[in-house]
Amino acid sequence: MRYTTLLTTFIFCIAGIFSCKKKTATIQPIVKDITESVYASGKIKAAEQYAVFATVNGILKQAFVKPGDTIQKGAKLFLLDDQTSDLSNENARINLELSEENSNRNSDKLKEFTLAKNIAYNKFQLDSSIYMKQKHLWEMNIGTEIEFEQKKLAYQTSRSNYEITNSQYAQAKRQLATDAKVASNNYNITKKQQADYTIKSLMNGTVYDVLKEQGELVTPQTQLAVIGLSNQFIIELEIDEKDISRIKLNQHIEINMDSYKGQVFEGVITSIYPIMNERTRTFTVKAQFINQPPTIYPNLSVEANIIIHTKKNALVIPTSYLLNGSTVLLEDNKAIPVKTGLQNYDYVEILEGIKSTDILYKP
């Protein structure tokens, strides 16, 4: 009886030892379609989305829009308040009116120069007539040389005075016209600057966000709103620098979104930014939906697989059965070199080295 009990205990121990020994996993290569892709993550943006900024400093006096509003190009978005701008515009307007008045031919300033020019001209005409008469008499030996020289000097002096006043009149006229032009330019500049205090939309679209409230200080570095096309969205993806050489325009992508769990949407690459972000070591790629989700918003996160190659009826094994990227294990840990083809996260294509009937051991 005791012998039987000991024998039974021994058998159970041996069975326990062998049952505890872990069996090595094995598989056989299978034939299936395989797709090689590049993983990318990113976010949704509205098509032609842009941030609204002011070009001047001021206080936000009024917001004409709110998030979700549909707007037209040129529509008022915000009004900034700045009393200094109003005063500058008023001063420029007054200066323009004064300059235009002074440049008018009937203005008091030009009348002064016109009167001086006319007096000088009349004096010149009179002295010229007297001089010509005295010269004629002198040629007939009538009169004295002193009288002739006096009349000649008076004629020359009045001629010079007339030329000077005529030049002063022309110069004054040009100066007043220039002043009027400068005043007009200054007025237009202040009007343009004043117009900058009313911020308008650059496109037809939707206001997706308003970031400032009435009474807040606004500078040219202050973002006021986000605007983009209505119901048209793009996908902005970040591609690691090691993968960018495999990315091409018009490549097909499969898109997953947290807001649509379990659904896959299709898209296509539309643009590749030709510069790397040195901070993240990534490239920016844009894509558009082929089948866009029914409800979507900017800044939703996305994950995408960019399809590089697809092959049907390929001989594949799980990637976990590939050792050092080029070897598989057969029975008794026999290492066999293989030539691989397409590869993704789950499977790798085997081009040469093994057959579909071989049994592979997991490394």
Secondary structure of residue 19 in the 3-state scheme = helix
pLDDT score of 191: 65
Cα distance between residue 214 and residue 150, in whole Å: 82
Helix (H, G, I), strand (E, B) or coil at 238: strand
Q: Which amino acid is at 116?
A: A
Count of residues making up the chain: 363
- pLDDT digit string (tens) for 248-290? 999 999 999 999 998 999 999 999 999 999 999 999 999 999 9
Q: What is the pTM of this model?
A: 0.59
> Looking at domain 24-47+232-363, what is its CATH homologous superfamily?
Efflux pump adaptor protein, beta barrel domain (2.40.30.170)
- Confidence check: pLDDT of 96 > 70: no
Which range among 88-97, 124-133, 288-297 shows the weakest confidence by mean pLDDT? 88-97
Give the 3-state secondary structure of residue 338: coil
In the prediction, which pLDDT does 171 show?
82
CA within 13 Å, CB half, 142:
6
Element (H, E) at 112: helix 108-139
Q: Residue type at 287?
A: A
Enumerate the β-bridge partners of residue 349. 316
104 confidence band (pLDDT: 50, 70, 90)? low
Cα dihedral 302→293→49→278 (10° resolution) = 20
Three-state DSSP state, 107: coil
pLDDT of residue 256: 93
- The string of pLDDT tens digits covering residues 113-137 is 778 888 888 888 888 888 888 888 7
Give the pLDDT of residue 195: 75
* 354, 338 Cβ separation under 8 angstroms: yes
Distance between CA atoms of residues 49 and 206, nearest Å: 9
Sequence ranges of the domains in the chain: 24-47+232-363, 50-54+65-81+198-225, 83-195
C-alpha distances (whole Å) from 89 to each of 184, 185, 219 are 11, 12, 20
**Torsions phi, psi for 255 (to 5 deg):** -115, 130
171-196: pLDDT as tens digits = 877 877 777 777 777 767 666 667 78
Among 8-12, 244-248, 312-316, name the most confident range.
Answer: 244-248
The pLDDT, as a whole number, for residue 19 is 43
Q: Quick one: residue 117, left, alpha or beta (phi over 0 = left, psi -120 to 50 = alpha)?
A: alpha
